[in-house]
Amino acid sequence: MTIIELKNITKRYNNTPAVENLSFTVEEGEIFAILGPSGCGKTTTLRLIAGFDMPDDGELVLAGKTVADKGVFVPAEKRKVGMVFQDYALFPHITVRENIAFGLKNLDDKEKDAIVENMLQFVGLSGLEERHPFHLSGGQQQRVALARALAPCPVTVLLDEPFSNLDADMRTQMREEMIKILRKSGTTAILVTHDQEEAFAMADRVAVMNNGRMEQLGTPEEVYHYPTTGFVADFVGKADFIDGTIEADGIRTEIGLFPNNTRLEIGEKVQVMIRPDDIEIEPAGTGCAVIKDQQFKGSEVLYTLELPREKYIHSVLPSTRTLPAGTRVDVKARPVHLVAFQNGKAVSEKS
Amino acid sequence: MGQSRIFAILSTVVVTMALIPLAYLLWRTAGAGTGVVDILLDARTFRILMNSVLLAAIVTALSAVIAVPLAFFTVRTDLPGKRFWSIATALPLTVPSYVGSFIIISAIGPKGSIIQNLLMPLGIERLPSIYGLPGAVLAMTLFTYPYILLTVRSSLQNLDPALEEASRNLGYSQKETFFKVTLPHLRPSIAAGGLLVALYTLSDFGTPSLMRFDSFTRAIYIQYQSSFDRTAAAVLALMLVALALTILALEFRAMGKASYFGSSAATRRPPSVIELGKWRLPALMFTASVVGAALVFPMAVIGYWLVRASFTDEFIRGLLQLTVNSIYVSGLAAAVAVLAALPVVIYAVRYPGRFSTLLERMTYLGSGLPGIVVALSLVFFGANFATSLYQTISMLIFAYVVLFLPKAVGTIRTSMLQINPRLEEAARSLGSGSLETLQKVTLPLVRPGLVNGAALVFLTTIKELPATLILAPIGFRTLATRIWSATDDALFAEAAAMALLLILASGIFMSIILKQEAQ
Ligand SMILES: Nc1ncnc2c1ncn2[C@@H]1O[C@H](COP(=O)(O)OP(=O)(O)OP(=O)(O)O)[C@@H](O)[C@H]1O
Ligand SMILES: [Mg+2]
């Protein structure tokens, strides 16, 4: 069943669109990520769904009911949409227990207590219920925020950069825990983030946004391996683009010939996307590239390679062997899937 | 090392001097022996205590009732003319309490007032008295409610809109959200503002004395003037100090809580605007009537007296002299207070430690000392130990600095805390000596704080009444003391002229401070 449906939603602030013509659907139980750079309209999208802002155009359907359209606007408190705010927005004047119970209306105290007890156990906070939010660590606050949002059984939960206030260690741990909690409760969720790793690790599908518009929508694998635009290719992982020409036997580039999976005519120019993990290098006196720089990253080494026509590309290799800068090397590209672009749009066919 | 010692010594000197009045009062009372107990147990003492507490409680409650809706209207709603109202509702704070009392007495007082003049043709010679509790409550409430207004307003502005959104999101309407989230959030700031009003009401001398209401400050003054045994005055003064310091302690707790509630690191959206709808007219009428009573009415009363009056040249020359006197002592007090505050702040902020923090905290004691108490103590002290300073401008300035040092320390501290200590370290690493760093980096950066602090002390001093009344050299009068005595003598037209000058001077300085804060 479709839980959330956006149809051509537009929201403008002072006549500049923050979100433009946005359409997507989220299915029941799905974890959906919105990924994009700062200012691309992620928070705006969530606020429109939650009902804090009114769209200027378009229609919004929640669990089969139109909540925003021309002449229709269901206020936030009637939407049953849970939200985990970026800085959690826990009520400082009441305890953890009261925070979690806050959204439980029309229930007697016994029922409330039972639900709160349940939620506390669910998110692993038992024993902290009488504390006030400011006596909790960042990770604990976040769990309270999640419990508070989940307690009234919302139709969906919206998470706005929920991990951005946590340090790196905590972030990975909370990410795993949150996934577990969301999956276990079968919650439909939208996660907003500007960290592609986070989106990939958590979501069933990812929508990549740029400048208020959706650039691409797909599974993490699709978005990573088959980016449809140059922006997506670049944003979801490190990518180099090298010039190529369509020839009879394939796409000719400086680092070799690639199979032609486009429908372009011979002689047309394209840019071929190469990810650093697609590039292998081998020291060779006759090699076409020179190592300009190498960065040791622990388990891997990132090499910057200079090609004859002064173009740089990157390669990531296991750090079991490191090559010093200045080494001349042979470059072999083995892309899992080759994607060629023309004018910033993918022209390759999916295999 | 050397620098920290210099600041330690300077701060200790400042704080010790600031503690003289309180210490002397304690010492003096302790030396009075069993007489103290008699005074404490006296029925009259009890009545004075009850009077003071009652006045403070009523004024605080009424102020909250006026100020909380005003704060809400002017910050969060679509009240028409919001910007204008938000300034206009805060302005009554510039009206000193004795001016407020003058306005009420000269407008609706029993004899010689505007209303009585108007009713004269009907043969009415005397109106019912407004003296006593009703007059005191009226005068205090109308001009002190802005304390609550300002604290509540800043707390409303600091309220993270996400909190209200979270509540909406969890199923509560706008109205329910107001009572479940917004109001609890405001509670500490209402408490903080309310305690300020209570403290101000208890310490104020002008209103009770003009309204002839026997609260502590009036009783102390009468005791001081009428008898040679000053023990009674000293005991009453100490009781008042105990009460005031208790409120001050509560105030600090409330303030701490208020700032805790407001803290949130993340970037914020502006708070949402609430549409008043059918409440627009009532809200507008409420706001307008408060501004009418606390701002327009005083102006109209002053205008009335000025239009009717004809002043002699001699009076106008005298007026000029009074204004010069007021500005002269206030300017001196501002300069000395800032100079005294600076080492305390630098020591506390740059060399944090138990001793420096203790010294800084001690300066705040001054804000719990009513002017009449400090003045009284310094009179005793001067008469016994510092006869050469007794009845000099220096003694007066000293009293001002004791009273208003906390304001200077508070303002300078805020601006000092905003300076990244890394900047000073950078200067040191670039070869500046410690004093050179102070002069080239710290002082220029803290300058807005110094200017603000000085302006604030100036503003408070120019309105100060009891210390000026008691400690000024014989024949040295200021606008404040003359307004007070003219009102008491029912010379309303003269009081009006001086009140206007005083309000103008305060208003100009207030707008300078507000402008600085806006930047
Ligand atoms: N209340 C507002 N008034 C005016 N402009 C706004 C408002 N809210 C958002 N915008 C603008 O809309 C655009 C999208 O903002 P939004 O907060 O949705 O971005 P975001 O993707 O969440 O960014 P970030 O990752 O930095 O949180 C931005 O250009 C922002 O400046
Ligand atoms: Mg955002």
Domain identity same for B300 and B342: no
- Are the CB atoms for B55 and B201 separated by under 8 Å? yes
Rounded to a whole number of angstroms, the distance from the CA of B187 to the nearest CA of chain A is 10
Q: Are residues B317 and B299 in the same domain?
A: no
- pLDDT exceeds 90 at position B155: no
pLDDT of B483-517, one tens digit each? 999 999 989 999 999 999 998 887 777 676 667 65
pLDDT of residue B263: 46
Q: Is A152 on the interface with B (CB under 8 A)?
A: yes
pLDDT greater than 80 at residue B459: yes
Backbone torsions φ then ψ of A34, nearest 5 degrees: -110, 120
ipTM of the complex: 0.71
CATH of region A2-234, choose from 3.40.309.10, 3.40.50.300, 3.30.565.10, 1.10.287.130: 3.40.50.300
- Asked if residue B282 and residue B170 are part of one domain, the reply reads yes
Are residues B206 and B129 both part of a single domain? yes
When CB atoms are compared, the residue of B163, B171, B260 closest to A152 is B171
Buried b (16+ CB within 10 A) or exposed e, A303-326: bbbebeeebebbbbbeeeeebeee
Q: Which residue has the tokens 């429908």?
A: A263
Choose the closest CB to B261 out of A92, A102, A148: A92
Nearest CA among B204, B230, B200 for reference residue B218: B204
Evaluate whether A246 touches A265 at the Cβ level (below 8 Å).
Answer: yes
| Neighbour order of strands in the sheet with A256-258 | A256-258, A250-253, A240-247, A269-274, A339-342, A345-346
Same domain, B316 and B451: yes
Angstrom distance (rounded) from CA A42 to CA A11: 12
Distance CA A13, CA A90 (A): 28
Residue scoring higher pLDDT (B39 or B146):
B146
In the numeric block, which tokens belong to residue B331?
């300017």
Q: What is the pLDDT of residue A92?
A: 82
Of the residues A44, A45, A209, A214, which should be mutated to test ligand 1's pocket, given the most ligand atoms within 8 Å of the CB? A44
Q: Tens-digit pLDDT profile for chain A (351 aa)? A: 999 999 999 999 999 999 999 999 999 999 999 999 999 999 999 999 998 889 999 999 999 999 999 999 998 888 999 999 888 888 888 899 999 998 888 889 999 999 999 999 888 888 999 998 888 888 899 899 999 999 999 999 999 998 887 888 888 888 888 899 899 989 999 999 999 999 999 999 999 999 999 999 999 999 999 999 999 999 998 899 999 999 999 999 988 899 999 999 999 999 999 999 889 999 988 888 999 999 998 889 999 999 888 688 999 999 888 889 999 999 988 887 789 999 989 998 876
Give me the residue from A51, A94, A103 closest to B170, CB to CB.
A103
Is the Cβ of A162 closer than 8 Å to some Cβ of chain B?
Answer: no
3-class SS letters over B81-149: CHHHHHHHCCHHHHCCHHHHHHHHHHHHCCCCCHHHHHHHHHCCCCCCCCCCHHHHHHHHHHHHHHHHH
Cβ partners under 8 Å of residue A300, min gap 6: A316, A317, A318, A319
According to DSSP, the residues that pair with A271 across neighbouring strands are: A243, A341
Classify residue B368 as exposed, middle or buried by CB count within 10 Å of its CB (0-12, 13-18, 19+). buried
Length reported for chain A:
351
Which band of pLDDT confidence, cut at 50, 70 and 90, is reported for residue B158? confident
Q: Residue B230 has what pLDDT?
A: 79
Question: Using the beta-carbon criterion (under 8 Å), do A77 and B260 form an inter-chain contact?
Answer: no
Q: Pairing state of beta strands A213-218 and A328-333? A: unpaired
The DSSP code for B353 is S
Interatomic CA distance for residues A304 and A293, integer angstroms: 5
Structural domain boundaries, residue B211: 32-262+269-308
pLDDT in tens, B187-221: 888 998 999 999 999 999 999 999 999 999 999 99
**A102·B170 Cβ contact <8 A:** yes
What's the per-residue H, E or C state across A157-169? EEEECCCCCCCHH
Which atom from ligand 1 is nearest to the alpha carbon of A14? 4
CATH number at residue B446: 1.10.3720.10
Distance of CA B247 to the CA centre of its chain: 14
* B171, B181, B265 member nearest A91 (Cβ): B181
Residues of B with CB under 8 A from a CB of A: 160, 162-163, 165-173, 180-181, 184-185, 187, 260-261, 264-266, 272
Quick: pLDDT tens for B356-399: 889 988 888 888 899 999 999 999 888 888 888 888 999 999 99
pLDDT of residue B264: 47
Same domain (yes/no): B368, B495: yes
Chain B nearest-CA distance from A294, in A, is 34
Minimal CA separation from B186 to chain A, in Å = 10
Strand-strand pairing, A328-333 and A289-296: antiparallel
Count structural domains, chain B.
Answer: 2
Structure tokens at B397: 């300035």
Say if CB B465 and CB B205 are below 8 A apart. yes
Whether residue B112 sits in one domain with residue B75: yes
Q: What is the pLDDT of residue A310?
A: 67
**Whether the CB of A13 sits within 6 Å of ligand 1:** yes
Strand order in the sheet with A300-306: A279-283, A328-333, A289-296, A300-306, A312-318
Angle at A40 between CA A37 and CA A43, to 5 degrees: 100
Q: Which residue is associated with the tokens 């309407």?
A: B173
**Cβ atoms of B387 and B467 closer than 8 Å:** no
For residue A327, the model assigns a pLDDT of 92
Provide the token pair at B295.
């701002």
Residue B59 has pLDDT above 50, yes or no: yes
Residue with tokens 């000193």: B96
Token pair of B497, please? 């002229």
Q: What distance in Å separates residue B60's CA from the closest CA in chain A?
A: 23
Q: Would you call A134 an interface residue with chain B, using a CB distance cutoff of 8 Å? A: yes
Q: What is the mean pLDDT of chain B?
A: 88
Same domain, B16 and B49: no
Mean pLDDT of the B417-438 span:
72
Q: Quickly state the pLDDT bin for B425 (edges 50, 70, 90).
A: low
B155, B163, B170: best to mutate for the A interface, most A CBs within 10 A: B170
Are residue B249 and residue B355 in the same domain, yes or no? no
The CATH code of the domain at A277-332 is: 2.40.50.140
